[in-house]
Amino acid sequence: MDLILEGIKQAFLLLFGLDREVLGITLLSLEVSGAATLISLFIGMSIGTAIALTDFPGKRIVISLINTGMGLPPVVVGLFVSIFLWRNGPFGFLEILYTPVAIVIALAIIATPIVMGITLAAIQHLPRNLRLQILALGATRLQMVWMLMKEAKLPLLAAVMAGFGGVISEVGASIMVGGNIKGYTRVLTTATVMETGKGNFDIAIALGIILLLLAFMINALLTQIQQRQRPR
């Protein structure tokens, strides 16, 4: 119990003491998580909507693959991203392994199936006649897609929260492709693992509390937006 209380004390000291290293780690965590979430939203919502609105052979198999991807093990993602970005790998010439860019790529791969699966389900659950009604009013296909997405805005905001939650809390892939380099690729999750391994449980608890507060604030903001859009 004393250890937990000491961790809480350390969290307040690190936050309100404006510790430069902790602020840098927190900012980098926000940057890579935010970038990965935006990429996953663009790819996931686009493909998810396209699959939901299109009938083609093997659609159920594709949906099964997407649903499987929602539980994609981060260490597997980290392994393959590392192989592709390795010096002798297909994209080794880019020299981005052990950089924040590599972390963003890995996190985006993890989050994209989550966003895609939720988007697909949200669009599929809209009444099929709604599409025909929108087109009958003279809307183009692009306008129809936009209106359907507006109609499904509540579950789509849930997709944003799920995607962000998946990347802000990820640790395995971040260590594998980022290397946990101090002042460069160290984020809150990897720093927490490192401090735990060193036996510095008070600092690890403090970093964990900061991570929880960060996740809570972002999700509270998104929840506020979501609930404002809820029909009364």
The DSSP result for 151-171, as a single string, is HTHHHHHHHHHHHHHHHHT--
pLDDT at 129 over 90: no
Top-confidence range, 88-97, 104-113, 149-158, 186-195: 104-113
Could you report the per-residue pLDDT of 16-49, keeping only the tens digit for each? 776 788 888 889 999 999 999 999 999 999 999 9
Tell the residue number behind the tokens 């192989």, with chain if given. Answer: 83
Q: What whole-number distance in Å separates Cα of residue 52 and Cα of residue 25?
A: 39
Q: Please report, for the domain that includes residue 187, its CATH number.
A: 1.10.3720.10
CB atoms inside a 10 Å sphere around CB 11? 22
Could you report the per-residue pLDDT of 148-183, keeping only the tens digit for each? 888 888 888 889 999 998 899 888 899 999 999 988
Tell me what pLDDT residue 12 has: 73
Where in the sequence is the domain holding 121, given as residue range(s)? Answer: 2-228
Tell me what pLDDT residue 1 has: 64
Query: Considering its fold, how many domains does the chain have in total?
Result: 1
3-state SS assignment for residue 185: coil
**Best CA proximity match to 118, nearest among 169, 80, 154:** 154
- Helix residue spans in the chain (DSSP H): 2-16, 20-53, 59-69, 74-85, 100-124, 128-136, 141-151, 153-168, 172-178, 188-197, 201-228
Q: What is the average pLDDT value for the chain, to the nearest integer?
A: 87
